[in-house]
Structure 1
Amino acid sequence: MNNRKRVVITGMGILSPLADNIAEFRQALFNKQCAISDSQRFSRWFANARAAEVQGPGDYPGLSDEIINSLDNAALWAYKVGKDALTQAGLINHQASLDETGLIIGVSSAGTEAFLPLFERRMQDFSLAKAIFSGGFSSCCASVSSLLRLKGGVELVATACTASPNAIGMAFDYIQNGKSQIMLAAGTEPIYLPTFAGFYALNVMHPESCTPFSGTPGMSIGEGAGALVLEEYQHAVDRGATLYAEILSYATSCDAWHETGPDPRANGAVQVMIKALHNADIAPDRVDYVNLHGTGTEANDRIETLAVKKVFPHSASLPVSSTKSWFGHTIGAAGMVELIACLVTLPEKKILPTLNFGTPRVNCDLDYVANDFREQEVNIFVKNNYAFGGNNCSLVVSTQPASVPVTAYQEKRVAISGIGAITALGHTLNEMLEAIWSYQKPVALQPVVFHQDTLAEVRELLEVLRATRQFETVLGYSLPDVTPLLPEQTENFKTFQVTGLEPRQHLRRYDRRKATRGGTFALIALSAALTSARRKIRKDGDEIGLIMGMSRGSQETTWKYLQSLQPDPCKVRTSEFPGSLMNAIATFCGISEGIKGYTTTLATGENAALGALTYGYEIIRQNLQSQVIVGGADEYFPSMALYMDAVTQKLHMTADARDYQIYGNASSGFVPGEGACMLLLEAPETAEARGAAVLAEIVGYGKSCSNGYFAAEQLSENAQALTLAIDRALTDAGITAKDIDLVCGSSNGSQQHSHVEIDAIWQSFQYEKPQVPVVNYNAFFGFVASSAGLLNLAVLVDCFRQQRVPAIPHTQLFCDDRLNFVREPLNIPIKLALLLGANESGNYYALVIKG
């Protein structure tokens, strides 16, 4: 048995409509200030627009105007609170500690601000620099980790209203698994028009200020950010840090019920609290207080009240309250901001009240600590948050570190027992593998066909960029250089697309009305992984979890939703609002298959599914869940974002798949692909007891990130970061480079990405095994952004089975003669392989896989 490590909080940072620092935030709470008021920003569109908004442009000392103008508020706020938390913890100038510190950010609307001028019809305000540095969903992770000089790897949690408590939970796991002694967890959420319009159109906004559990139902939207430094207890004590609280445990779950509404039986909310308490070995009657999600809507308040009654035998006397009545519902930042509110008041033996409390609603009959602080000592408390899609998250926290005994767990080996995949090369894994082994001709690329509305936006935007000369100032080349990328001249703008797919040939249950293209791919791959592993979900969905890694999400649904903002945001299409969220595909899969265990969506960009794989690995290794499905999915859609990739020369313009040459001497970008890959993870003995084969095992992994996001030339630093991830993975697996039989990269094919992988492989293997075979199979099926690494892993698993290695396709002249690229199929013994992956913003993964 392994004793769990104590994880304490040693630093906090806050940015809220109430205050922008911890001291003033605490005082504002004790003064019972309510930040909800009339919104000047949104009143131009909406009647009775009310919100809790951060006022003023903010102060970011140490950042140049150029960087500030390149970042959106999601990134700037996360940087500000992260820096404040590290400063309070006494770590901001301790680079040795920062080198080992990872970053987990929770957010719902990242990457939005850069494109607001497009769907608000303010083309003249479009900033190419902001689009490049803040236009990606995960870009806030890259900018914040670079500016704060963190090198422990990053992840972005995108489960809407549970994103930030889930980020805290992942940071907690990093310390539990020994990957780091210090982690920075942050939640950040500015209010943008699409978010406000969606909730407004759903008719769930309160006309004044929300009154959770009483009076008129309705929510009040808010914005803000918060950050916590989490640290291993003994490490914090040894350096004399102040200990503000201890995270005892956390858990997530999924209702698997509805895209927006909670399970009326409160099963998911009950399950997540019971699991979190079980993980902490805390009996429910030992809990002193519950900080509720408490949105103020009728459905949430009724279901949450029911859940508390089902979990806590002393619910009639248990104080509970909602802090959303103070600063609104801050969506992705909600759990973080609300937890910090608890941490600055509970040590003073004061329980935060539910403000604006009036006549309790029907079935709302708990002790909601109405209107005034209550004097009471609280040691153990629970923090709950719930989100669209039935995502639930609970944290168990102690205000008195080291007052609760540590728990123990039986460490499990982590096996892959099922794989499902769909790509342009094949609708099943077997079809894909057969095509790879008998490769006769490449997949026919499909032309990109832009929607007329998108073409109009492109033309208008190009005129703005021409007039403001942003190409020259930002990219260094003029508009005539991108003339071939004008909408009328894109005959070589083609992609790997899945064609001829009949979903009902692959699925027992399939609701075409609710299925997006990406969701369909994910569900087909998920179903195939379950079949491969001989796993049927009946009434045991709570025994299996789902961790998705996303790059751009449901692009077509998002595009439709954003298009509906015009001409009247009050009449936006609510049917597309929940589907535009990054966790929508996980929601669709969870509901379709009845998956109710640990459920999370990471949106860290390219190779986000490798982040999902490492997270799923930890859930199984720590014996938190018996089985977890991990994966990623991408759908082709001719969006403005895809066009911007072409304009900024990230895409390889080609009419023939054979021109897509990974590690080639003349590589010039990537060719997009679409599809999905899903794996079932579990302990080997669990699979074998069911008669399922163990396909491979994950025996170690490492992560790292560079600090060169804003550097003009960052190849060397990025290669060093990947080298560090490889070193961490080998150390974690207890092996050295000489033990690796095969290295598989997942570079997208650009020269920059390829050279980072090549340099890192050479640095890691030049002394012990310089001729280790190196492969990469993305050119078979295109760069399927989120799941590129997993698709390569699926091929690796078949290499283990056959003890053969397919050649890298198409590439004739390789760009570096130091490495042993596999030019012809090999018959070699393979026991251990190293899988590499990168996000587009300098975040790196290395995993050791055992056959």
Structure 2
Amino acid sequence: MKTSRKRVVITGMGILSSLADNIAGFRQALLNKECGVQDSTRFSHWFENARAAEILQDIDYAPLDAETVSAMDNAALWAYKVSKDALNAAGLTGDLEETGMIVGVSSAGTEAFLPLFEQRIQDFSLKKAIYSGGFASCCSSVSTLLGLKGGTELVATACTASPNAIGMAFDYIQNGKSKTMLAVGTEPIYLPTFAGFYALNVMHAESCTPFSGTSGMSIGEGAGAIVLEEYEHAVARGATIYGELLSYATSCDAYHETGPDPRANGAVQVMLKAMENAGVTPDQIDYVNVHGTGTEANDRIETLAMKKVFPDAVDLPVSSTKSFFGHNIGAAGIVELIACLVTLPEKKLLPTLNFTVPRPNCDLDYVPNEFREKDINIFMKNNYAFGGNNCCMIVSTRPGTVPVTAYEAKRVAISGMGAVSAIGHTLNEILEHIWSADKSPELTGVKFNGDTLTEAVELLDVLTRTHQFDDLPGATRRLQRAVLPENNVHFKTFQVTALEPRRHLRRFDSRKATRGGTFALIALAEALNNAKHKIKRDGHELGLVMGMSRGPQETTYKYLQSLKPDPRKVRTSEFPGSLMNSIATFCGISEGIKGYTTTLATGQNASLGALTYGYEIIRQQLQPQVLVGGADECFPSMSLYMDAVTEKIQMTSDPREYQVYGKEAKGFVPGEGACMVLLEDLDAAQARGVEICAEIAGYGKSNSISYFDADCADEKSAAMALAIHRALADAGLTARDIDLVCGSSNGTKESSEIEIGAICLAFGEQNPQVPVVNYNASFGFVESCAGLLNLAVLADCIRKQAVPAIPHTQVFCDDRINFVKAPLKMAIRHVLLVGANEGGNYNAFVIRG
């Protein structure tokens, strides 16, 4: 049966750019043809001819108090400001329990650690590191401050992050998860980003002139937010409607880490797919707001792509708005979309400023220099990113004028799984180890680089002298133990050893492979093999959604260290590899994956967020198959020290001391590895004769609003329980129908208390004796994919109709819960999997055998 897509409209906007900090001022600055690119105030003392579109105005963050502002970085503060403005403009200031938030950003979590690689360690703030040092911390802080409870995600696909975030928010409304969603892009420009682009020699000496004159980009910073709302809901409450989002699509070039495909195949594919999803044809597109960075490669390839998609491309007006406010990286797409929405309804077609003599092969109508009067109904918004990530949105300025499309909702099956961990290099090896409960791996000591140790010792001195440990009893001693180990108490982790990639892979380029990328690629290859799928010339039919926590740590460390002492001599070879989407890029290029591709960096259990996105892609019949996964590498970074200070990490040499749900829990032992699952339409998988691992029957999301309050376990448990109730409702089940519950608590006291409290709230009345398991202590806490690794064990439990015991824990912390203390033989039909990230974002899934 066909399901008509819901109309999704835009009912609120917020903006912060070099041009203005409000919608009215932004519109007027555009109409005045103002250019925000000028000599940089922050980077000129490092770089010659440093030009940027910077946010220099004083920003009012009322009603936030000074203490809260000091704990947040600009990525979070800017996201808060524009989100609040967008919600106010939409008239949504009451109960936001159903409203979720998707944020797009490229270099989040950077500001707190700037003092370390800008050689001003005396300015380091422990409070800012705790509350803003995580990549997804802006999601947690902003959702808390705004009272959003619909769940959050952070998209980290560099320059396509914010349009991809808009697309994910669109999907939430399509699946009925929410009537309203907030999509945000936020991007301060920090030294690592500026230095990387500067060293690549792609910066324009003055201001960018897309498609003409001298090539080169102008970097900029900014933030934007839009409220997406289901059309009937918006009309019923009398909301102002600024436009309708008809569709979106993503793709991957699978070509190069930085350069676009010279044939423009990925850019062509994403435009055609977005139009197909919207049910429109090229002749219906009235205008295209292009990526238009001003670099030679981008402008030439983007022009070629337009010619391949549009038969009458020479007559179609296209323009780049980066000549107004620079390239806003992760926030570029949403800021440019807002620029369109405040001008196009007034029949004002945005020009490409600074246009002079067209460059070779740039021969389209770029609307040079002056606004043009034109009535626009349907327009296209394109963005492209490092790693070959492409994103396209189709938007109408006249909501309700384009017929909605329909799709046949699919049942979503897991048809293949693969994994790498410290206890096995294949999923079968891992499962064999888990069922052999007497086995226990040896932990491997982390080898710290001398520079990191020196930095940590200096930081210890600064934090002690400035009394920043006063609110953390015992913190000084813990950091001393971490920095200057005594009695052989070192950081030890579950590390992958003796791995031989070429035994698992047909193709493997060790020169470009990071440790995390290698794990991901091996797990990916196993998942495809188990699903009997070989990629030939159908790479565009296969998507890839990665969930990341700390990302490519070793590459990032090398890149940041190269900023010292002279950022002009930064190593460009590590710059693209330090991005969160670099592992997805590596896998895509290695295997030729060209379909829907994105990277989420929502922290611990990020791959569960990726699983919800992959589920939507299959359910809505947007792709035949999607790979979903996560990968982590153990690396002795400063974030490891911070976790030691806050008692998250347990420093032990005995893996048996990692006791999840234990009465005397001491924290988690880090692990590394990867897990990948292949999702596809259940009927299609069965038609191929594939053995189905499991079916995703439904999911739910929520988040707590107590990020700044450590003593709110009850509120956080209630928030996780809400995600469970939403998952059960989505699957059409009740708590009585669940045979087994699997948690993915990292094992810290707080994490376990929240998870146990949620299970009691959700099952206490109807199914209080439901068995509960968690296998993180088997392979160490592999942050991004802990939930997926547990899911792999659950699929095996369903197949065997048996359940292994929770490893290591002997004395449990709560006698209300029926923890699985010994192997069970039992009938298993429906399993509930729950997971949380460190900032209070919760996912729950109903898995059907």
TM-score range, shorter chain: over 0.9
Give the unaligned 5+ runs of structure 2. Answer: none
Return the offset for 1:56. Answer: 3.5
In the other structure, the counterpart of 1:565 is: 563
- CA shift, 1:685, in A, is 1.9
Aligned to 1:487: 484
- The corresponding residue for 1:750 is 748
In the alignment, the residues of structure 2 paired with residue 257 and residue 356 of structure 1 have an alpha-carbon distance, to the nearest angstrom, of 31
Aligned residue runs from structure 1 range 298-313, under 5 A: 298-313=296-311
Query: Counterparts of 1:114 and 1:480 in 2: how far apart (Å)?
Result: 22
The equivalent residue for 1:721 is 719
Q: Provide the rounded CA distance (Å) in 1 between the counterparts of 2:59 and 2:515.
A: 40
* Structure 1 equivalent of residue 61 of structure 2: 60
- Within the candidate set 441, 464, 467, 1:466 is matched to 464
**Residues 404 and 478 (structure 1), Cα distance of their counterparts in 2 relative to 1, 3 Å cut:** closer
Is the partner of 1:240 in helix, strand or coil? coil
Tell me, in whole angstroms, the C-alpha distance in 1 between the residues paired with 2:484 and 2:516: 25
**What amino acid maps onto 2:589 in structure 1?**
I
Partner SS for 1:472: coil
Indicate whether 1:658 and 2:659 are aligned.
no
Report whether the alignment pairs 1:223 with 2:224.
no
Matches within 5 A, 1:811-830: 811-830=809-828
SS at match of 2:772: strand
Asked if 1:34 is matched to 2:30, the reply is no
Give 5+ residue unaligned stretches, structure 1.
none
Give matches, 1:703-782, under 5 Å: 703-782=701-780
1:171 matched to which residue of 2? 169
CA contact (8 A) 2:453 2:483 kept: no
Equivalences for 1:374-773 in 2 at 5 Å? Answer: 374-473=372-471, 475-477=472-474, 479-480=476-477, 482-489=479-486, 491-773=489-771
Partner of 1:9: 10
Aligned partners of 1:447 and 1:491 also within 8 Å: no
Equivalent residue number for residue 319 of structure 2: 321
Q: Could you list the per-position Cα deviations for residues 668-714 of structure 1 after superposition, in whole angstroms to 9, with x for gaps in the alignment? A: 21110000000000012221232211110001000000000011312
> 1:205-244, aligned counterparts within 5 Å?
205-244=203-242
CA distance in 2, matches of 1:462, 1:334: 38
Asked if 1:201 is matched to 2:199, the reply is yes
Residues 482, 117 of structure 1: alpha-carbon distance in 2 compared, 3 angstrom cutoff = closer
Aligned equivalents of 1:610, 1:480: Cα separation in 2: 35
Residue 351 of structure 1 aligns with an amino acid whose one-letter code is L
Distance 1:483 1:231 in 2: 51
Report the alpha carbon displacement of residue 457 of structure 1 after superposing the two structures with TM: 0.2
**1:293 matched to 2:291:** yes
Note the C-alpha offset of 1:482: 4.3
Q: Any idea what SS the aligned residue of 1:470 has? A: coil
Deviates more, 1:429-438 or 1:491-500: 491-500
CA contact under 8 A between 1:458 and 1:487: conserved in structure 2? no
| Aligned-residue offset at 1:432 | 0.4
After superposition, the C-alpha distances for 1:522-580 in whole angstroms (9 at most, x for unaligned) are: 00000000000000001100000000000011000000000000111111100000000
Q: TM (normalized to structure 1)? A: 0.99
Give me the whole-angstrom Cα distance separating, in 1, the residues matched to 2:473 and 2:177.
40
Distance 1:537 1:516 in 2: 23
Could you tell me whether the CA contact under 8 Å between 2:475 and 2:646 is conserved in 1? no
Matches within 5 A, 1:43-82: 43-82=44-83
1:484 Cα deviation from its structure 2 partner: 2.3
State whether structure 2 residue 163 is matched by structure 1 residue 162: no
Q: 1-side partners of 2:253 and 2:241: how far apart?
A: 35
SS at match of 2:574: coil
Question: Can you list the C-alpha shifts for 1:584-607, whole angstroms capped at 9, x where unaligned?
Answer: 000000000000000000000000
CA 1:411–1:481: 2 relative to 1, 3 Å: closer
Is the 8 Å Cα contact of residues 299 and 362 (structure 2) preserved in structure 1? yes
The verdict on how the C-alpha distance between 1:293 and 1:127 changes in structure 2, with shifts beyond 3 A counting, is same
| CA distance in 1: counterparts of 2:686 and 2:476, whole angstroms | 60
1:353 maps to amino acid: P
Query: Alignment partner of 2:469: what SS?
Result: helix
Is contact 1:534–1:691 with CA below 8 Å preserved after alignment?
Answer: no
In structure 1, distance between residues paired with 2:781 and 2:512? 26
Q: Residue type of the partner of 1:484?
A: R
- Give the SS at the match of 2:470: helix
Deviation for aligned residue 1:477: 4.3
Shift in Å at residue 48 of structure 1?
0.3
1:267-317 CA-to-partner distances (Å, cap 9, x unmatched) read: 000000000000000011000000000000000000000111111122111
| SS state at 2:795 partner | helix
Query: Aligned partners of 1:181 and 1:665: how far apart in 2?
Result: 42
CA shift for structure 1 position 57: 4.3
Aligned residue type for 1:773: P
Q: What's the TM-score, normalizing by structure 2?
A: 0.99
For residues 24-68 of structure 1, what are the alpha-carbon distances to aligned partners after superposition, in whole Å with 9 as ceiling and x for unaligned? 000000000000000021011100000000004421011011110
SS in 1 for 2:380: strand
- Could you tell me how far apart the structure 2 residues matched to 1:57 and 1:689 are? 61
SS class of match (1:168) = helix
Matches within 5 A, 1:86-125: 86-92=87-93, 94-95=94-95, 98-125=96-123
Secondary structure at the aligned position of 2:573 is classed as: coil
State the one-letter code of the partner of 1:432: I
Q: 1:798 aligns with which of 796, 799, 804?
A: 796
Deviation at 1:478, TM superposition (A): 5.5
* Letter of the structure 1 residue corresponding to residue 132 of structure 2: S
Identity of aligned residues (%): 72
Q: Supply the distance in 2 between the matched residues of 1:478 and 1:655 (Cα, whole angstroms).
A: 21
The code of the aligned residue for 1:215 comes to: G
Inter-partner Cα distance in structure 2 for 1:237 and 1:566: 55
Q: 1:480 to 1:677 in 2, by over 3 A?
A: closer
Q: Do the aligned partners of residues 261 and 371 (structure 1) sit closer, same or farther apart at CA in structure 2, a change above 3 Å counting?
A: same
**Residue 336 of structure 2 aligns with which residue?**
338
Residue type of the partner of 2:669?
Answer: V
User: Could you say what secondary structure the match of 1:471 adopts?
Assistant: coil
Contact 2:476–2:645 (CA under 8 A) maintained in structure 1: no
CA distance in 2, matches of 1:391, 1:484: 43
Shift in Å, 1:476: 4.3
Maintained 8 Å contact 2:106/2:157: yes
Give the conservation status (yes or no) of the 8 Å contact 2:482–2:490: no
Q: Is the 8 A contact 1:730 1:848 kept in 2?
A: yes
Contact 1:606 1:840 in 2 (8 A): yes
Q: Name the CA distance, whole Å, in 2 between partners of 1:335 and 1:766.
A: 46
Q: Secondary structure at the match of 1:641?
A: helix
Rounded Cα–Cα distance in structure 2 between residues aligned with 1:47 and 1:439: 62
Letter in 1 for 2:532: R
1:353 counterpart = 2:351: yes
Matches of 2:397 and 2:606 in 1, distance apart?
34
Question: Do 2:460 and 2:479's aligned partners in 1 also have CA atoms closer than 8 Å?
Answer: no
Counterpart AA for 1:341: A
Which consecutive segments of 4 or more residues in structure 1 shift more than 6 A?
A: none
Post-superposition offset of 1:480:
3.8
What letter matches 1:681 in structure 2?
L
- Kindly indicate whether the alpha-carbon contact (under 8 Å) linking 2:73 and 2:111 is maintained by their aligned counterparts in 1: yes
Which residue of structure 2 aligns with residue 841 of structure 1? Answer: 839
Query: Could you tell me how far apart the structure 2 residues matched to 1:129 and 1:477 are?
Result: 16
Q: Distance in 2 between matches of 1:35 and 1:237?
A: 37
Tell me which residue corresponds to 1:24. 25
Out of 656-665 and 683-692, give the one that drifted further: 683-692
Letter of the aligned partner of 2:636 in structure 1? P
* 1:662 counterpart letter in structure 2: V
Which amino acid is 2:18 matched to? P
